[in-house]
A and B are shown apart, each in its own frame.
Chain A
Amino acid sequence: MSSRHRGRRSALPAPVLALAIVAIAFFALPLVGLLWRAPWSSAWSYLTDDGALTALRLSVVCSLWATGLSIVFGVPLAWLLARVEFRGRGAVRALCTLSMVLPPVVGGVALFFALGRRGLVGQYLDRWFDVRLPFTTAGVVVAQTFVAMPFLVITVEASLRQMDTRFEDASRTLGASRWYTFRRVTVPAIGPALGAGAVLAWARALGEFGATITFAGNFPGKTQTMPLAVYLSLQTNPEEAILLSILMIVISFTVLLGLRDRWLGRVDRPMGAFGV
């Protein structure tokens, strides 16, 4: 871990630097706007409000579940897309990342058609197993996973493609099993990308609004996640909405900042070490 190259200095051409600064301002100004309008004097009472804490807890739990499911199903999917040549691979890849461009509300309606009480599969879930996803916490997790998993899949797939497969070949020729090779060679090599993809997926799940409110509905303590609570309080109490948004930003910012050093900062290292 000590061989981390940091802050390699390079002279950036002035126009590039100027554009980069505009980009930073573009992201920073709306946040400054929120901080500027926040009613700081009543902040404590809003943030310790039971409703807000319930929504926050639900958001954290559901987004972690969605991230976990994205890893469990997304890594094998990325593996398949990166390593196995088959007809229609491009189409499958496009299909699996479609939810990134689909308007989330449409995604929520599409989930109804698939998993709702009258859905293609959902009607059998309901009839045979008495399982109903709409209006349940599980439905929130499904909606979040649907929109978040592609972020993990494309990140991990890119890393698997870039990885030098000779290390896996060497492991195999030295007598290691496929599973052992996967665990001890492949996973460590793609670890940083996996971490980065998981963080992206988590962030997307945490902020998910459209698919959740459409498919899972909005019930405090059950399906009302933080973005839903923020949206609804915006209707009557914009001050509360602003404070809740700031709370979400603080949490996400802390996590992204903390994980960056651990994961994203290392992305170039294994590639450098493994590459020729």
Chain B
Amino acid sequence: MLGFVAASCGSDEDDSADATTATADVSTEASATPAVQGDVTVFAAASLTAAFTEIGDAFKAENPDANVVLNFAGSSDLVTQITEGAPADVFASADLQNMTKVTDASLNAAEPVVFATNIAEIIVGAGNPKGVTGVADLADPTDLIVVQCASEVPCGSYAEQIYEKAGITVTPASFEENVKAVVTKVTLGEADAGIVYATDVTAAGTDAEGVAIPEDVNVVAEYPIAPLAEAPNADGAQAFIDFVLSEPGQKILASFGFLAP
């Protein structure tokens, strides 16, 4: 049934296909993809909300018998849910560390694959009212309220790596619990700047703008995806991952500001 793994995907995980036996002959429909049925439950990092919602719709359009159930939360919250036995088919994390927690516990059915990357940017209010030009400005607390993610969540550890590379010390007003909270505080005008993902700046639309961080001090966030060992719908899991890695999936991710792996 999984014999038709989309050729365009950049994945080299074909092991799982050997294990499954070919069953359905109904899959020879208009499209060359195998017929996926039932719910495919995808646990995805909060920063993937918009992109995966659209990917889910596109996947459903291609697989009319399937339904994609999306659960978005911080990657570490999702890991907790998975290790506590939540019935998920696919896990897409915003960083490698949280995926490692899943693989260390042998809860993945196949090796994780990086399907997208994201770089950090400084988010400022529309029109950049405080005239922030680069990372160095964040170190100057004069009338500049900076918020950042707490070091416990990925965007916080990225922010700290950037400060370190830039050789600056930043005293934020608050350590936010997730990247969207940083965005909210800046778009509401309560904070002046913060370090978020480039995709978050894209998603904030006209309420905010981004100040680029030079490559030599920036970090690249890698997003891995993996099917889960206790997936109720193992075929659906692999088909969804293949779709994310396929050209249409990658195009959708790019439209939200993600970079190719």
Contacts and interface: CB of A to CB of B under 8 A. Distances in A.
B152 A238 contact: no
Interface in A214-263: 214, 216-220, 223-224, 228, 231-236, 238
A217 B189 contact: no
A206 B77 CA distance: 23
A222 to B, nearest CB: 9
Interface in B172-188: 172-177, 181, 184-185, 188
B190 interface: yes
Interface residues on A, range: 20 to 34
Contacts, number: 62
Nearest to B150: A232
Contacts of B74: 235
A134 interface: yes
A65 interface: no
B172 A236 contact: no
A117 B177 contact: no
A214 B181 contact: yes
Interface string B161-202: 000000000001111110001001100111000000000000
Contacts of B77: 234-235
Contact of B190 (A112, A213, A223, A228): A112
A253 B153 CA distance: 31
B152 A235 contact: yes
A116 interface: yes
Contact of A233 (B80, B145, B152, B173): B152
B174 A217 contact: yes
A151 interface: no
Nearest to B74: A235
Contact of B175 (A214, A219, A233): A219
A226 to B, nearest CB: 14
A213 B181 CA distance: 9
B147 interface: yes
Interface string A113-142: 000111000000000000000110000000
Given A214-B181, A235-B74, A235-B76, A223 B174 contact: yes
Contact of B150 (A116, A218, A238): A218
Contacts of A231: 177
Contact of A218 (B76, B80, B174): B174
Contact of A118 (B172, B174, B175, B189): B189
B43 to A, nearest CB: 16
A96 interface: no
Interface in A141-195: none
- The list of the 9 closest CB pairs from A to B, nearest first, reads A217-B174, A235-B152, A135-B173, A235-B76, A118-B189, A236-B152, A232-B152, A218-B175, A116-B190
Interface of B: 74, 76-77, 80, 145, 147, 150, 152-153, 172-177, 181, 184-185, 188-190
Interface of A: 109, 112, 116-118, 134-135, 213-214, 216-220, 223-224, 228, 231-236, 238
19 contacts: A112-B188, A116-B188, A116-B189, A135-B145, A213-B176, A213-B177, A214-B184, A217-B173, A217-B185, A218-B174, A219-B174, A228-B177, A232-B150, A232-B175, A233-B152, A234-B76, A234-B77, A236-B76, A238-B80
